[in-house]
Chains A and B, each alone.
Chain A
């Protein structure tokens, strides 16, 4: 968990603010054991949060460093696992012209970083009726005509904390290659950093989302076995079996559980169980 855990109290919603001191100590009954504090022996390094200097133990992520400094985050913090896109962050180091990007929950602090989070960035998103879309590229062109404002500067790719080839994905879309765009953008966490840097003012991640949905629903073949199973369920094929299972005694259920045939790990797609009574 975070660098230090202290006795937890309900957090106030105040951001960047000192909080009300605890009410006069009241006698309490049994409570959850307080988490042990982790002692930090690490060396302290200076970082600049929106220009203000703080000394932070090295090894922390940007997010934990901000919390160590005393911030309570409301925005700019989501899954804390690198998948939700809430904590897009930009930073520069002294003497370096280059703007760097990171996810605050993933990037470890480095000495003298100047950090600012971009928890929200306005982006144009087209609304559409998904059921009415085919897989024609022109549909995307019509919803997002600004696609062709891309000047191929590649700033988007440089701004992607996921390492997605954003500009190549836009190029694929421009060429009507929805499959390519869907596959290239699969890791997109929609943090919006590409959009914040775009010279042509595109909202790349919304376009990619549309491409992936069209690919998943219109281009890749549907699973026929799935449609078959849905039909069987709807026809009531399993109703009686399940009703029986619901009614039997726990011992009998345990027996059925233990005796059920387990598909071997290495079995291929064509594996068939011996007992087909309940299929």
Chain B
């Protein structure tokens, strides 16, 4: 038996939501909002945020950011051995030779490849999974850029980005970002991205958490997918962009001039390690949700395992803002099949209330993400969350309100992706609310760079989620998709120019890897961990207990 598609267990809880709904809809219609927290209140609330839990992190003992406290899961990967013995890689046997090597297969990587090509470079993209299997593909909510001069400008976008990031962001990077955002939107438009528009061509726009103007543009609820498949399609038209799938980089290669000069790639299917030589390298490997920091579920794609952080750090690039990780406030807690799945912030932007076990509001829906998540966690810790039959807890997101506020069919048409998936599970989210809880979503920080995407290593450029600085300690909705476009383009251009004008030919080396391993040993870290992780391991304990092969014979394990 079920109630609106949920097990009977939920019936009394859903009924409470239904009881309070008419009055809440009336308030919405009158424009009455739940008050925002003051900066002071936000600060206090953040102690409920997982980032602020001391037991969740430790100091890293080696490398350029030695002494920096970050999540155990990151430290575990950084205090780990290389996947290969650097002495065994024959760097004189070059398997691939190119001007610009792009490591990664998502939005930032693809956009960088396009622009590097436009600047005359031969490009090789090395991707871990298929080209396009990336968090970009999954971004739903939208892309921020000040486009409406009558009410908005880069000035206000700047203030919002800084406020969201606790005023800690890198000002140069933010200024470049907000200034380049409109041009980036126009570039996407010219490539044929199907933005949601009014009939006269004006871009639809809405609020996101922490925005003062409606500047969130979107492509229905599949914004990232639409952008990703469009730029991927364009990359496939370019003769000078070659894509090597299922071949992640496992170490960067430097040369005798301390310039980045390629990478060791790993063919995951034949298990060969291959040498790719390049005049410049762009690292755009994305995020780290699959590390399951503090045991949290994640919205991230299968390959989000922080590989770029490991590679860049070993080569000498310091970390920046990696002490904060973004928990998206609304991940699905129930049904189990889609646990961790992202429910776009747009539901809240359009007016869906967040509710506790009594069906009552307890927070404004548009607080910055870290504050919003912390508030949800607090409500559940205080015993006002909704329990599930599987022993978890969550809060309601009252999607049916949107059909009442914006007209019958709004949920079905504006959130077609969500509606379809829930519908397959027997739940109509235009009739029943969704049960949500914070879920690991985004790596706010990463490898330190500047507004030109340059790093501490000459010839090594970075772009997208693998970097740290733009978002400070907390990213706002819609700024990650814009991040990959603005800085993907800058990285692509600068890498192409470097390859043409500044790259010096020289002997390839993995000395930095050897030095790193030595440092590991000297710090007394004895471990059998290897990194980068490449893929998460979801094998059960029962299966592992029976995997008893003594040693590998050929490639058969």
**B354 → chain A closest CB, angstroms:** 15
Query: What residue in chain A is nearest B128 (Cβ atoms)?
Result: A74
- A217/B148 in contact, CB under 8 A: no
List residues 195-229 of chain A with CB under 8 A from any CB of chain B. Answer: 209-210, 212-218, 220-229
- A79/B138 in contact, CB under 8 A: yes
Query: What residue in chain A is nearest B526 (Cβ atoms)?
Result: A26
Query: What residue in chain A is nearest B270 (Cβ atoms)?
Result: A13
- A20/B337 in contact, CB under 8 A: no
Check if B120 is an interface residue, CB within 8 A of chain A: no
Query: What residue in chain A is nearest B540 (Cβ atoms)?
Result: A4
Q: State A59–B338 Cα separation when bound (angstroms).
A: 11
Known: A33-B72, A86-B129, A221-B197. 12 other contacts (CB 8 A): A10-B531, A23-B528, A32-B72, A82-B417, A83-B225, A130-B191, A162-B420, A216-B230, A242-B155, A257-B163, A267-B214, A273-B213
Q: State A26–B529 Cα separation when bound (angstroms).
A: 10
Q: A273: which B residues are within 8 A, CB to CB?
A: 151, 213
- A253/B527 in contact, CB under 8 A: no
- A221/B266 in contact, CB under 8 A: no
- A106/B73 in contact, CB under 8 A: no
- Known contacts A182-B194, A187-B222, A264-B31; is-contact A242 B175 (Cβ 8 Å): yes
Q: Mark A9-44, 1 if CB is under 8 A from B, else 0.
A: 111111101111111001111111101110000000
Check if A263 is an interface residue, CB within 8 A of chain B: yes
Check if A152 is an interface residue, CB within 8 A of chain B: no
**A205 → chain B closest CB, angstroms:** 9
Contact of B237 among A8, A129, A187, A260 (CB under 8 A): A129
In the complex, the 6 A-B pairs of residues with the closest C-beta atoms, listed nearest first:
A213-B192, A221-B201, A32-B72, A18-B547, A217-B192, A216-B192
A positions within 8 Å CB-CB of B: 1-6, 8-15, 17-23, 26-33, 35-37, 59-61, 64, 67-70, 72-75, 77-84, 86, 106-108, 125, 127-130, 162-163, 182, 186-187, 189-190, 209-210, 212-218, 220-230, 232-234, 238-239, 241-243, 245-246, 250, 253-254, 256-258, 260-267, 269, 271-273, 278-279
Q: A10: which B residues are within 8 A, CB to CB?
A: 80, 83, 529-534, 537
**A240 → chain B closest CB, angstroms:** 10
Q: B533: which A residues are within 8 A, CB to CB?
A: 10-11
Check if B316 is an interface residue, CB within 8 A of chain A: no
Query: What residue in chain B is nearest A271 (Cβ atoms)?
Result: B151
List residues 24-45 of chain B with CB under 8 A from any CB of chain A. Answer: 31, 33, 39
Query: What residue in chain A is nearest B391 (Cβ atoms)?
Result: A38
Q: A86: which B residues are within 8 A, CB to CB?
A: 129-130, 133
Q: A79: which B residues are within 8 A, CB to CB?
A: 133-135, 137-138, 301-302
Q: A256: which B residues are within 8 A, CB to CB?
A: 159
Query: What residue in chain A is nearest B197 (Cβ atoms)?
Result: A220
Q: State A129–B528 Cα separation when bound (angstroms).
A: 50
- B194/A220 in contact, CB under 8 A: yes
B positions within 8 Å CB-CB of A: 31, 33, 39, 58, 71-73, 75-76, 80, 83, 129-130, 132-135, 137-138, 146-156, 158-159, 162-163, 167, 171-172, 175, 178-180, 182-183, 185-186, 189-195, 197-203, 207, 212-214, 220, 222, 224-226, 229-230, 233-234, 236-237, 239, 246, 266, 268-269, 271, 292, 294-295, 297-299, 301-303, 336-342, 351, 416-417, 420-421, 424-425, 525-541, 543-544, 546-552, 555-557
Q: State A261–B155 Cα separation when bound (angstroms).
A: 12
- A1/B31 in contact, CB under 8 A: no
**A39 → chain B closest CB, angstroms:** 9
Q: B546: which A residues are within 8 A, CB to CB?
A: 18
**A34 → chain B closest CB, angstroms:** 9
Q: State A9–B81 Cα separation when bound (angstroms).
A: 13
**A270 → chain B closest CB, angstroms:** 8
**B157 → chain A closest CB, angstroms:** 10
- A72/B539 in contact, CB under 8 A: yes
**B351 → chain A closest CB, angstroms:** 7
Chain B interface SS verdict (over half): loop
Query: What residue in chain A is nearest B214 (Cβ atoms)?
Result: A263
Contact of B192 among A125, A215, A227 (CB under 8 A): A215
Contact of B203 among A67, A128, A223 (CB under 8 A): A223
Q: B149: which A residues are within 8 A, CB to CB?
A: 225, 228-229, 232, 279
Among B148, B153, B212, B420, residue most surrounded by chain A Cβ atoms (within 10 Å)? B153
Q: State A125–B548 Cα separation when bound (angstroms).
A: 45
Q: State A26–B198 Cα separation when bound (angstroms).
A: 63
- B167/A254 in contact, CB under 8 A: yes
A-B contact pairs, 27 of them (CB 8 A): A1-B298, A1-B538, A10-B533, A14-B555, A17-B557, A18-B546, A18-B548, A19-B549, A20-B552, A30-B72, A35-B292, A61-B337, A70-B540, A77-B129, A79-B302, A83-B222, A84-B130, A84-B225, A212-B230, A223-B185, A223-B195, A234-B183, A250-B167, A253-B162, A253-B167, A264-B31, A279-B152
- B147/A226 in contact, CB under 8 A: yes
Q: State A194–B532 Cα separation when bound (angstroms).
A: 36
- Known contacts A36-B295, A129-B237; is-contact A78 B192 (Cβ 8 Å): no
- A265/B207 in contact, CB under 8 A: yes
Q: State A67–B201 Cα separation when bound (angstroms).
A: 46
Q: A13: which B residues are within 8 A, CB to CB?
A: 266, 268-269, 271, 534-535
Q: A278: which B residues are within 8 A, CB to CB?
A: 153, 155-156
Q: State A70–B300 Cα separation when bound (angstroms).
A: 22
- B269/A74 in contact, CB under 8 A: yes
Q: A186: which B residues are within 8 A, CB to CB?
A: 194, 220, 222, 226
Query: What residue in chain A is nearest B529 (Cβ atoms)?
Result: A10
- A245/B212 in contact, CB under 8 A: no
- B130/A78 in contact, CB under 8 A: yes
Q: State A140–B1 Cα separation when bound (angstroms).
A: 51
Q: State A14–B535 Cα separation when bound (angstroms).
A: 11
Q: State A22–B545 Cα separation when bound (angstroms).
A: 11
- Known contacts A10-B534, A26-B526; is-contact A222 B189 (Cβ 8 Å): yes
Contact of B153 among A3, A29, A68, A279 (CB under 8 A): A279
Q: State A228–B186 Cα separation when bound (angstroms).
A: 11
- Known contacts A10-B534, A60-B337; is-contact A233 B527 (Cβ 8 Å): no
Contact of A260 among B182, B212, B537 (CB under 8 A): B212
Q: B302: which A residues are within 8 A, CB to CB?
A: 73, 77-80
Q: State A148–B182 Cα separation when bound (angstroms).
A: 40
Q: B239: which A residues are within 8 A, CB to CB?
A: 127
- Known contacts A80-B301, A245-B159; is-contact A32 B73 (Cβ 8 Å): yes
Q: State A217–B212 Cα separation when bound (angstroms).
A: 29
